[in-house]
Structure formats: C-alpha cells, structure tokens
Amino acid sequence: MAPIHSVKNTEPALFSLGWVLCLPPNRLVPTIMTDNATWRVELHCHSRCSPDSLTTPEAIVAACRQRGIDRIAITEHNNIVGALAVQRLSPELVIVGEEIKSAEGDIVGWFVSKEIPKGLSLEETISRLKDQGAVIVIPHPLDSLRGGSALGLEATLRIIEQVDAIEVLNARCMRASDNDQARQIAQEYGKLMTAGSDAHTAGEIGTVVMRMPPFHDADSFRASLALGDIEGGRSSQIVRLYSTYAKLHHRLIG
C-alpha cells in the first residue's frame, strides 16, 4: 500500500498537538506499511464516533500508513459506525470491533458483524459476541482509576473462561501495576494476551502494537495472537485531557 504524503488533519489544534506529545521518539519518522512475515497490529483505537474522541477516519488511516501499522481494530464505544467508516477508506486495514459497556464494565469484540447495545448483562454481551464468531477480550480489566468501565477482579474471574483474551497492556492505564496484575491473571488462566494504545487521538496510534503473523479472519487471528509479541509502552497521561476536551466538544458542538 502506497504511503499517504499529505492528509489534512481535521482534529482541533489541541488534538493535533497529540501527534507530537503522545509519540515515542522512534515513531516520529514516517514509515510505509509493511508486507513482512510479521504484522504490526493496533488493537484498540477510537474515532470521533466515540464520545471521547474527535479523530477522523482520514487521520486514522494516515497515522497507520505513516507508522507502519498493518492492521488496526477500531473499537468505538457501543457502536461499529466508526469502524465501518474507516474500513470504507481502507478495507484491508481495518478490523471491525466494538468496546461494549455491559452492566458491569467493558468488553471488546473484534471481527464484529452486528452492533451490540450497551447496558446488557455481562453474560448476555458475551453471548451475543459468541453468536457472531467474534474474538472476545477483556480490556483494562483491573484499571483502578477507570471507574465503571473496568470489570474488576471478581467479574473478570467469573467470566474468564468465556473470553479469548485479556488485555495485559493498555497504554492509557495510569498505574503500571494494574497492567501487571492483568498479565498475571492471563498467565495463571492460560488466556491469550493482547495490548493496545486505546488511542483516542491520532498521535496515540501505534504507542502499543502487537507483532503478529498475518491473519485473515477471527480463527486465524486467534492462532496468530498466540504467537504474538507486545511492542511499546504506556502513553503520557496528558492524553486524558484530550478525551475530556472531546467529551465537552461533543456535548456543546455535536
């Protein structure tokens, strides 16, 4: 896929700053998407179709092409509209996902074909993902500062046998120990381990990626994830200011 040389960034100025502030130094030099035996896969990203992001589909595609991201999962809060919008721009790039707010906290599905509403029981949310063959992961399960979106230990252990994977590195977790505990649980229960930037701005995309063999559907993704490695680390916590600004922007301007 050819690189994009010039794409207008339609995010507000505060979000544009994220292109610099949220990137590790080794990500500032643009690269083209790779076609090697191992892909760089961003598994947790939001666009302006989430209430705490203003990132456009065009900015997401541009960031992926500049940073050598081979696949990206767009995981909007409680909808797949944004994922489908990015997919229309770059069909091969996008994994359609959804971050669903169940009655007890968030569950992420990848390879989602039918949108799942928020507010369902945890078990019903998982059941509906299973019915469509989605890959199911518990995101930021033990993030002690994320309020009602993290499942917490009790709920995580209750449904752990029903999910495919645990997110063991979320770049937006402020406490490294919360990620470490998630990794310990994944190892103890033999679950696949995932990581993602939880990007709400274009600048965060690629902060954390999975290095994985190529895949083409949910089943081959699971097999690939078992062979994957994590690359990257946590974001600067200034990114949370961007999400606060985005929420206000959506409420006041729409």
Please tell me the predicted confidence (pLDDT) of residue 237: 77
- Is CATH 3.40.50.2300 correct for 13-252? no
Task: Tell me the domain boundaries of the chain.
Answer: 13-252
Q: How confident is the model at residue 67 (pLDDT cuts 50, 70, 90)?
A: very high
How much is the mean pLDDT over the chain? 87
Q: How large is the average pLDDT for residues 152-161?
A: 98
| pLDDT tens digit sequence for 80-104 | 999 999 999 999 999 999 999 999 9
What span, in angstroms and rounded, lies between the C-alpha atoms of 28 and 26?
6
Q: How confident is the model at residue 27 (pLDDT cuts 50, 70, 90)?
A: very low
Strands (E), the chain: 39-45, 71-77, 94-101, 106-110, 135-138, 165-170, 192-196, 208-212, 229-232
| pLDDT tens digit sequence for 199-212 | 999 999 999 999 99
3-state secondary structure of 28: coil
Please tell me the predicted confidence (pLDDT) of residue 244: 79
